[in-house]
Amino acid sequence: MTIPVQRPFLGPEELQAVERVFASRWLGLGAFTEAFEHELRTFLGVQHVVAVGSGTAALHIALDILDLKPEDEVLVPTLTFVATAQAVVMAGATPVFCDVDARTFNLDVHDAASRITPRTKAIIPVHYGGTACDMDAVHRLAAQARLKVIEDAAHAFGSTYHGQKIGTLSDLTCFSFDPVKNITCGEGGAVVTNDRDLADRAASRRVLGITRDTWSRREAAHPWSYDVAGPGFRYHMSNINAAIGLEQIKRFEAFRERRRAIARRYDEAFAGVPGLLLREQHLAETCPFFYVVRVMDGRRDDLMNHLKEAGIMTGVHYIPNHLHQVFAQQRTTLATAERLGEEILTLPLFYEMTDEEVEMVSAAVYRFFSAATRVVALVSRERPAATARQPLRAISESR
């Protein structure tokens, strides 16, 4: 048996919802898309939601409606999925990569401040693993430098910042509902805002700049008639994807509780394990998207192989973006992110993961480090083996 890193949970309700869409014979943007937008508005407590086909499309639209010019710069953390930076490029501007905080892996706002130039127009904080960025600091910086704030909340559906839902804090927030996100639509995303003008522009961009989409003009006297008012893409969310999302939103509380419980269990299991450093996640406010540890002393790949042999899949989130060849022109040194890029390992975390599977992962991590501890104990008389092994024994006893 193999334990995957991430896996969506889908039940018969999602299947029945998709069957209802099939029966309606209206597969594209339609009633289910509108209903999903309504549910998201209610859940998040925001005024406008524009549902789109992916988180990448959401970011692209959010940036595109700012009408950026080729010389304009957008600050992005380098430790993110490449969609964040590629969206900036797709919107015709230049990503400027920033370092991250070694405790949370979120944007280092001081580093971002040092990279501001007269060309900087926007900043994209990414809530890594669902843990909110320091949004007070981001907004202070944005106010000083007159930057638009677009939150990349792909990981953070259902997280809060000082009790406020992610999605309610900035000019624009972008969510992803891809297969492994906190809720999934199969594929999907959303642009969220309280600004009417930005919402209208986003809605127009998602359907090729067409003034009224096919669904809203279905009962008009001349449903074939429309105008094209501006540029746009074909990025709308389909009824099929929205139907899945509508069922997933109902499950959200259960998803969040289970994800938090697994993350909490890992935190307990790994606290004090020599060779591992844990990320600060602020679980009371976070719906954890994944569980990432730092593996010290250059042993990340060894641990990854050890876990693979035990049937446990792991991941690396992420290779710092500024190291990818496509961004060679933006090459810079971002010391913390580069170090993290060598150390980080994502362990399995998904709703259906059983307690036994969580224990299997913890035990396999243990075995790796207890073997290492024994070797260190043999070669080092300075360090009593009993002290080094203590936390390991404590965890095995608790199983």
Ligand X SMILES: Cc1ncc(COP(=O)(O)O)c(C=O)c1O
Which residues of this protein are in contact with ligand X, per CB under 6 A? 54-56, 80-81, 83-84, 126, 152, 154-155, 176, 178, 189
**Between 155 and 306, whose beta carbon lies closer to ligand X?**
155
Q: Is 181 a catalytic residue?
A: yes
Distance (Å, whole) CA 55 – CA 174 = 7
Please state the closest distance from residue 378 (CB atom) to ligand X, in A: 42
**Between 128 and 226, whose beta carbon lies closer to ligand X?**
128
Smallest Cα–Cα separation from 170: which of 149, 155, 191?
149
Distance (Å, whole) CA 269 – CA 87 = 38
H/E segment holding residue 109: helix 109-114
**Between 189 and 391, whose beta carbon lies closer to ligand X?**
189
**Between 55 and 348, whose beta carbon lies closer to ligand X?**
55
What CA dihedral angle connects 335, 340, 341 and 342, to 10 degrees? 100
Bridge partner list, 149: 123
Residue nearest to ligand X (CB): 55
- Inter-residue contact 346 to 316 (CB < 8 Å): yes
**Between 290 and 368, whose beta carbon lies closer to ligand X?**
290
Phi-psi sector, 209: left (phi>0), alpha (psi -120 to 50), beta:
left
DSSP result, 292-321: EEEEPTT-HHHHHHHHHHTTB--B-----G
Smallest Cα–Cα separation from 285: which of 376, 172, 165, 135?
165
- Within 13 Å of residue 190, how many CA atoms lie on the same side as its CB? 32
**Between 108 and 178, whose beta carbon lies closer to ligand X?**
178
Distance (Å, whole) CA 99 – CA 108 = 6
Could you say which of 121, 181, 250, 308 is catalytic? 181
Distance (Å, whole) CA 348 – CA 343 = 17
Residues identified as active-site: 181
